[in-house]
Structure 1
Amino acid sequence: MELFGRRAEKAALDTLLAGAADGAGSALVLWGVPGIGKTALLEYAAGAAPAATVLRCRGTRMESGLAFAALHELLWPVMDRLETLPAPQAAALRGALGMSRDTTNPFLIGAAVLSLVSGLARERPVLVVVDDAQWIDEATAHCLGFVARRVAADPVVVLLTGHEDPASGPWEGVPALEVVRLADADARRLVDAVVPAADETLVDRTVRAAGGNPLALHELPTLDREPDGEAALLPSGGPVPVGPRLRRAFCARVEGLKPSARALLLLAAAEDRGDRHVVHRAGSGWGVDASAWDEVLRSGLVRAPGARLEFRHPLIRAAVYDGALFLERQAAHRALAAALPTDATAERAWHLAAAAEGPDEEVAALLEQAAEQCLERSAGPIAVRTLRRAAELSPTPAAAARRLAAAARAAWTAGDAAAARQLLEDAERLGGEVPVARTSGGLRGILEFAYGMPERAHRYLVCDMAVVPEPRRAVELGTVAVRAAWSAGRPDLQQEALRQVRAVDTGGDPDLSELMPVLRNWWSCYDRTGEVTPSSLAPAGGTVGRLATAACELLPPVPLVQAWGIEGGLLDVLHVQAAQLRRRHELAALAAALSQTAVLDLATGRWGAAETAAAEGLLLAEEVGADHVATQCRSSLGALAAARGDGRAVAEHTTRILQVSVPRGVRALSASAYWHRGRAALLDGRPQEALGDLLCLTEPGDEAAHHTFALFAAVDTAEAAVQVGKADVAEAQVVLLEEWAQRTGATWARMAGHRLRALVRSGSAAETSFRAALDVAGEGGHPFEYARTRLLYGEWLRRARRRADARIQLAAAAEVFDHLGAEPLRVRALREQALTERPAAARVPDPAAAAVGLTAQELRVARLAADGLTNREIAAQLLISPRTVGHHLANVYPKLGITSRAELARIDFARGLRLSAAGD
């Protein structure tokens, strides 16, 4: 059997065995709680001494009263060696072993065993192994203690195991080593070996419950009953279930105590907090007196530091509780409930629940009250467990359904979506959809929006708005319904939800009455009637800022805020929300807030912060099973990868996004994936491929069609269209952005509109548009897009032979790209900048240009490259791919004996073309 961990223990045993091999004897007592691995260490020692004579015995309770029973087992294999002993010793040992009627003299018996072992050791080393020494009979124990203290001169190792520190008793004076719990890493390896296919939840739960006890680590993962079963009744989870071998081992020790001491142990096991005073008061009616306390404390099973009671190992507590009869446990819980102070509502409720035999409304109500207290102190998981138990004790299906619905809400708040969904389904089965929607606050729609299909979520949310009793909750559900419709790319459903939100009666709630105009004004940006003005939504107007104190459900989706250009105050709002959610340990909502924060950080050039927020949000979302939020985080990571030129990461993230978004109809996420793929292809010099991905965002009915993301992607779509010569497509993107900029006045849209107009214009009109794009006030807050504008303008200036002006724009763009880590565009800007620095000297005729064997196509590519065009620009003119352009240039350079484009500029390709034509 493989031993996991145990490096210190194995080293100690190896040292003893090595000493025996060199002729020195020793003894060691390995002690610790049952199941801690002492027997496994004995097996290790026996396996590590293949050349030794091994004598074994094991103590048992049934034979603990039979004098020399263990010694008989130990010496049975070598009984024939009795004849080698001196006559008095042999006679005494025969009498002890029942082989004669000779009188047994303890000293002679000990001396006989020592002589026997020493005689065997003259032939080969001897290993004496005594397991469960606490159960061997007293006569054998004294005999072996005598031997263990006297083997130093012979190659003999005596190993014993027991439950107690052998500081006194028969092993007094024998060296001892406590075997302690396994480290968590070793415990996890052991569980993996026991149950190779175990999931992480089972491994974590087992390691936590076993407390490093190897036997428990073997037994717990394979128990038939669930860990939330009968034994797990108390708020913290109660005593964990214990397997049969551990239960027998611990209970055997308990059975040796007198009844009052056993009663005290059961009360201590059932009392969850280790409160000595409560146990003392509860035990006063059970005959628990001072002698019972003394006996329990002397047993070593329990310690009493100060006012606390602590079991020496968590599994002792579990075994004591699990080994008691159900009626005994009931009585213990009732006694503890009566002994609690009046303000201990939760503890009393749990003890009464543990003692309940069937439905009990009074106890269920008390549990419900305790759950509310748990929620007030953000103890969500305990509240869920408490409400579930309250539902079990509820006398009517309606009451059970109400409590299960409340448990579902608590589970959702705590970040356990799977439990929330299951609890909600159980509640609906008992009480119907409408009552459960009322109790849970419309949770089914929230869950569906976070984990399922947005169109179905919209349907649930709109229906439940009319069911929930609180107007504020109705508004929250309505705003989430608007977001669900936006995620699905369904303007018609957006309008339906907006009508519902505007129609909510505040019911006299002053806070809601003040908030409603803000919300109505904000959500109006969803419809395209033009009734809202950008100034009313701007940070100065306070709309976004005033949402900071509202529920996180009321916050709008960040991409839409960005589209309107009013995101200035939203980042602060999200930071406030995230801090509050972190304090309340609301993991699902915190993950959502981080995913939105990443989007804003990305747009404003804080790429490091964006990556940190997206990575943490992804980790949290995956932990709580929030698929959609995890996908939103992947979208931000995909956008970063595209800008950084990491094609592999782009492919990985967008594939994972589409696996979630397409089957569920989340077009906003699908659109983001196609946008990132398109941008990555564009920056990599593959405009045709980029255009194929980007146009999906504008195709009605496409799985990625989404108006908001089509707006953002228009800057890439138009640039790709220009590169492949599709002027009509580029013009359509320009018009789309110009109309949006006119409607919203958004800074980013005005800059992008001017930039795209410059791409489709020529001459002075193009420069006017470039200058207008760079002059848009506030566009410096979007450094990546601003630098892209400078790059395009610099390239235009270089082609216009205005190299000095071009260098200014290109150098500034390269600096920003370098700071951000946008490698593809940094390289492009530096390459363009290098082309502006070549001397303007006249070209030197080179009549050898045609003679070296350039093909016609190679001459065309070389001539355009010499004129300063990029590979993509050459490809667009010659209707070939940029990769083919690179291939031709790779052939041109060695044929001409040059290494750079700068040298190309000095060659008279016009003459070379004439020579080539004459040769043809």
Structure 2
Amino acid sequence: MELFGRSTETAVLDRLVAAAAGGAGSGLVLWGEPGIGKTALLDHAVGRASGSTVLRCRGTRLESGLAFAALHQLLWPVADRLDTLPAPQAGALRGALGLSEEKANRFLIGAAVLSLVSDLARERPVIVVVDDAQWVDEATAHSLGFVARRVRTDAVLILLTGHSDPASGPWEGLPALEIRGLADDDARSLVRASMPGARPTVIDEVTRAAGGNPLALHELPTLDREPDDTPLPSLGDPVPIGPRLRRAFLARVESMSGPARALLLLAAAEDRGDRLAVQRAGAAWDVDASTWDDVSRSGMLRTAGTRIEFRHPMIPAAIYDGASLSERHAAHRALAAVLPAEAIEERAWHLAAAAETPDEDVAALLERAAEKSLRCGAGPTAVRTLRRAAELSPSAPDAARRLAAAAGAAWHAGHADVARRLLDDAGRLESGTDIARASRGLRGILEFTTGIPERAHRYLVHDMDAVSGARSTVRLGSVAVRAAWSAGRSDLQLESLQRLLAVDAGEDDSLAEQLPMLRTWWSCYDESGEIARIRPDGAGDTFRRFFTAAWELLPPVPLVQAWGIEGPLRDALRVQAAELRRRHEIAALAVVLSQAAVLDLAAGRWDAVETEATDGLHLAEEVGADHVATQCRGTLGSLAAGRGDEEGVEEYTSSALQVSVPRGVRALTASAYWPRGRAALFAGRPVEALNHLMPLVGQGHEAAHPTFALLAAADTAEAAVQVGRFDVAGSRLSAVTTWAQRSDAAWAWVTVHRLRALVGDGPTVEQSYRDALDVPGAADRPFEHARTGLLYGEWLRRARRRADARTQLAAAAEVFDHLGAEPLRKRALREQGLADGPTARRGPGPAATLTVQEMRVARLAADHMTNREIAAQLLISPRTVGHHLANVYPKLGITSRGELTRIDLSGDLRLRVGAHDG
């Protein structure tokens, strides 16, 4: 069929088809109003792709709630190729297609579909065509979105159509092309082709009425009128094309026999294209073979084997909307009656559509269908199903229970706002205790992830008495302790911990084992805020088993770091991430990714940190988990601080503080202050660094938090030493020493020895640095290990042990270079330049007369740093800084600090070492 006025669109499709044939895969979403010509463009693309493998399906309204229904239609022609896939992928895809009892694994299914189309593309190009993608079931949509974003190097083209802009949802990130109405000249050409010999007045009339919609242009001239003498229905002033076409289609339907109208209504209500189901349901409505023949001759419905298909999706919509309520109910009851018992979801929805009053039997059937959807990972489908079940529940308690269950499904599917609204709806029907029991304490969990931690603590402690089962009680109690920790409230932490430890595990052996571990983790502080005498065994199997528990039972990562037992948790998080991806629990996955990013930051896997924290941030924003998103921003801020990206530090920490400060989440506020302090410290601004770090230990400050104060002790003390605040450095050393003695954490002992070296004097300094480098496990945190080496190298250089200094500084510089820690890499290289000793001076130029130390002082002064700040960075006295500047000015021919900005002070320091460098 000729496409009028679509040269631009067809040119785009032709390029994509040619690119796929050349091995450059891509995807494209064509979107626009119904009847605008999207399907015709798909047909054009398929026609151009001669010699390609074409996989095609169409989304339908009824099957949109059936997990992997569209995928079944799409892949059925190549189901014999499943044996070529890796066994795990093949098993998962067989389960999705209903060929086995394998449980749904979203990630494996997406990977399997990708492997399948990629394998097919090695033989010939593959064109995947999905029409009416807005009706594709959620599980298939996510699988296809997964594939579409990963076929750039395969001979695969994925084309989809939909009614709305795909800027969000499963097709997010794919190129999109809006299909608009035809220009008047092109519209007239289409009408002439559809209605040869039509008079110009009729052509103009149709063009005005259709508004450029190709389907309307094609259909309006042929709808129930005699050529040239009967006016088009309702022609006149332009109106929206949807209602006009609907009336036109209904006019054609009304002219047909009663059995034919019944058949069309059954087909429209069935919505899956199952000819056998429609045929069985129509038997009681006098639908016989002649009726099928009449409908087929009308051209409105086509049959192919056991499938039926309307010529255009607007036709069944018009038929269904035009039928009376009683007619629709009757059609759905007839279809439900002929479905087999195992078709729970289909029967449930047909009966729900037919229900005129509350019906507990139908509501219970919908509840069973929702449970099946949840097992398949189709959370949004389960939410819709449970909400409808609540509407049909005769009793308020049952309705509230189903709404609360829907809230839980929404939360696990990553829709926090929907979950909160459903909980509110349930709360208007029943008491808070009943809702807490039905939702398993979801109100407190939601508040913890998106609201005020002290309020979350109150909800969670209250709901511990409402939920059923010791395991649910422990889950809420553990999150309550965590909420108190987030708020920096050790008093509330102790209160909820005591409630938690009073839970009777009964015969649950694993829970009985977990409770002492929870006490070990959380009993960090007694009522006065002092550290309790508890030392977890980091190598014990008990702790490793504990880390495989549900994410709600795990302590926050900073606390794990304080205890120095990251290894088992890192392994557990990998396992949990895979499981949560399989279950498609987005909210929990965001939590796990945010925690993994913190651990990888300390372990020196900075590239992984960026991926995990960014992915976690996007997922958290998608589900509305504000606190998890804020934690990810804090981690990205810490990464930016290490890399010297101060703009990134400011951006991430400012965003974090906008959320954490008003809600009183001191843990998140502290995690924003800390990277600000580190950024200033690494940039040589110790006064500013101390201003950011001291609030962590300040009583009553918005950023005061004992765990973060402990973890940031090394940074706080180093900044304090550089500005001469040895009292602050001594107090931080004392706190870390106490913790090291009680936890035996490797990082704590490293910090103790490093701080002893910083505040010490005489022969003990070198031994302290060596002890810090030699702590077992110290190298597991490469960034901190290299920082120790840098400080040691600087001390050796000042002691004029140049060879030893070069060894330490070179090793530190190599680590910083590998990590991308630019500020400390430059610092290490500058120190190496000083340790290399005298070398040739630079060529002509005023700066060539400066010694290395004078050059360093001049550069820092040109950056508008004060004498005290320069002294702190170079580890010399402010008086010495003034002495150097007094030498610099006459050598450069200037008289003031402000004139330094006009001097070229660039170049390699190692070429300018003079005889006076120390």
Deviation at 1:595, TM superposition (A): 0.4
Distance of 1:284 and 1:795 partners within structure 2: 92
Name 2:801's counterpart in structure 1: 802
Distance of 1:456 and 1:72 partners within structure 2: 71
Structure 1 residues 513, 309: closer, same or farther in 2, change over 3 A?
A: farther
Name 1:735's counterpart in structure 2: 734
Deviation at 1:441, TM superposition (A): 0.6
Deviation at 1:254, TM superposition (A): 3.1
Deviation at 1:11, TM superposition (A): 8.2
Question: Superposed, which structure 2 residues align to 1:747-786 within 5 Å?
Answer: 747-786=746-785
Question: Superposed, which structure 2 residues align to 1:671-690 within 5 Å?
Answer: 671-690=670-689
Name 2:7's counterpart in structure 1: 7
Structure 1 residues 615, 349: closer, same or farther in 2, change over 3 A?
A: same
Any idea what SS the aligned residue of 1:537 has? Answer: coil
Distance of 1:707 and 1:7 partners within structure 2: 67
Any idea what SS the aligned residue of 1:430 has? Answer: coil
Deviation at 1:365, TM superposition (A): 1.8
Gaps of 5+ in 1: 13-31, 48-53, 77-128, 142-214, 220-241, 844-848, 911-920
Q: Which of 45, 50, 53 matches 2:185?
A: 45
Distance of 1:448 and 1:654 partners within structure 2: 22
Distance of 2:833 and 2:4 partners within structure 1: 62
Name 2:337's counterpart in structure 1: 338
Distance of 2:891 and 2:463 partners within structure 1: 71
| Cα deviation code 1:665-685 (max 9, x no counterpart) | 110000010000010011111
Deviation at 1:902, TM superposition (A): 6.4
1:792 aligns with 2:791: yes
Question: Superposed, which structure 2 residues align to 1:320-719 within 5 Å?
Answer: 320-525=319-524, 533-534=534-535, 536-538=536-538, 540-719=539-718
Structure 1 residues 282, 878: closer, same or farther in 2, change over 3 A?
A: same
Range that drifts further, 626-635 or 581-590 = 626-635
Any idea what SS the aligned residue of 1:479 has? Answer: helix
Q: Which has the larger radius of gyration?
A: 1
| Cα deviation code 1:397-441 (max 9, x no counterpart) | 222111111111111111110000000011111102111011111
Distance of 2:647 and 2:180 partners within structure 1: 49
Distance of 2:860 and 2:419 partners within structure 1: 65
Any idea what SS the aligned residue of 2:183 has? Answer: helix
Distance of 1:620 and 1:73 partners within structure 2: 54
Deviation at 1:698, TM superposition (A): 0.5
CA contact (8 A) 1:861 1:885 kept: no
Name 1:894's counterpart in structure 2: 892
Question: Superposed, which structure 2 residues align to 1:34-433 within 5 Å?
Answer: 34-36=35-37, 43-45=183-185, 70=199, 73=202, 132-135=220-223, 243-433=242-432
Deviation at 1:134, TM superposition (A): 2.3
| Cα deviation code 1:787-810 (max 9, x no counterpart) | 000000000100111100000000
| Cα deviation code 1:230-265 (max 9, x no counterpart) | xxxxxxxxxxxx942342244344334332222112
Structure 1 residues 890, 779: closer, same or farther in 2, change over 3 A?
A: same
Distance of 2:387 and 2:856 partners within structure 1: 78
Deviation at 1:301, TM superposition (A): 3.3
CA contact (8 A) 1:251 1:323 kept: yes
Question: Superposed, which structure 2 residues align to 1:840-919 within 5 Å?
Answer: 871-873=870-872, 877=876, 879=878, 891=889, 894-895=892-893, 906=914
What is the alpha-carbon root mean square deviation over aligned residues? Answer: 3.9
Distance of 2:185 and 2:904 partners within structure 1: 76
CA contact (8 A) 2:224 2:251 kept: no
Deviation at 1:537, TM superposition (A): 3.5
Any idea what SS the aligned residue of 2:555 has? Answer: coil
Deviation at 1:736, TM superposition (A): 1.6
Any idea what SS the aligned residue of 2:428 has? Answer: helix
CA contact (8 A) 1:68 1:137 kept: no
Distance of 1:571 and 1:334 partners within structure 2: 53
The one-letter code sitting in structure 2 at the alignment partner of 1:832 is E
> How many residue pairs are counted as aligned between the two chains?
713
CA contact (8 A) 1:565 1:747 kept: yes
Any idea what SS the aligned residue of 1:309 has? Answer: strand
- The one of the two structures with greater contact order (alpha-carbon pairs below 8 A, sep at least 6) is 2
Structure 1 residues 289, 735: closer, same or farther in 2, change over 3 A?
A: same
Range that drifts further, 418-427 or 872-881 = 872-881
Structure 1 residues 74, 562: closer, same or farther in 2, change over 3 A?
A: closer
Distance of 2:883 and 2:578 partners within structure 1: 53
TM-score (norm 1): 0.71
| Cα deviation code 1:667-712 (max 9, x no counterpart) | 0000010000010011111111111010010101100001111111
Structure 1 residues 36, 323: closer, same or farther in 2, change over 3 A?
A: farther
Any idea what SS the aligned residue of 1:406 has? Answer: helix
Structure 1 residues 739, 10: closer, same or farther in 2, change over 3 A?
A: closer
Any idea what SS the aligned residue of 1:506 has? Answer: coil
CA contact (8 A) 1:594 1:616 kept: yes
| Cα deviation code 1:91-124 (max 9, x no counterpart) | xxxxxxxxxxxxxxxxxxxxxxxxxxxxxxxxxx
Distance of 2:573 and 2:190 partners within structure 1: 69
Deviation at 1:551, TM superposition (A): 1.7
The one-letter code sitting in structure 2 at the alignment partner of 1:749 is A
CA contact (8 A) 1:502 1:520 kept: yes
Deviation at 1:57, TM superposition (A): 8.4
Identity, % of aligned positions: 60
Name 1:839's counterpart in structure 2: 838
Distance of 2:420 and 2:689 partners within structure 1: 40
Distance of 1:547 and 1:667 partners within structure 2: 27
The one-letter code sitting in structure 2 at the alignment partner of 1:336 is L
CA contact (8 A) 1:645 1:824 kept: yes
Any idea what SS the aligned residue of 1:304 has? Answer: strand
Structure 1 residues 352, 423: closer, same or farther in 2, change over 3 A?
A: same
Structure 1 residues 532, 307: closer, same or farther in 2, change over 3 A?
A: farther
CA contact (8 A) 2:786 2:816 kept: yes
Any idea what SS the aligned residue of 2:491 has? Answer: helix
Structure 1 residues 894, 748: closer, same or farther in 2, change over 3 A?
A: same
| Cα deviation code 1:707-726 (max 9, x no counterpart) | 11111111111111111111
Any idea what SS the aligned residue of 1:544 has? Answer: helix
| Cα deviation code 1:816-836 (max 9, x no counterpart) | 000001010001101110111
Structure 1 residues 433, 879: closer, same or farther in 2, change over 3 A?
A: farther
Deviation at 1:763, TM superposition (A): 2.5
CA contact (8 A) 1:260 1:287 kept: yes
Any idea what SS the aligned residue of 2:307 has? Answer: coil
Range that drifts further, 512-521 or 398-407 = 512-521
Distance of 2:880 and 2:469 partners within structure 1: 62
Distance of 1:45 and 1:556 partners within structure 2: 68
Deviation at 1:471, TM superposition (A): 0.8
Distance of 1:390 and 1:4 partners within structure 2: 48
Distance of 2:278 and 2:884 partners within structure 1: 84
| Cα deviation code 1:536-575 (max 9, x no counterpart) | 431x212331124422211111110010101111111001
TM-score (norm 2): 0.71
Structure 1 residues 689, 384: closer, same or farther in 2, change over 3 A?
A: same
Structure 1 residues 370, 827: closer, same or farther in 2, change over 3 A?
A: same
Distance of 1:290 and 1:886 partners within structure 2: 104
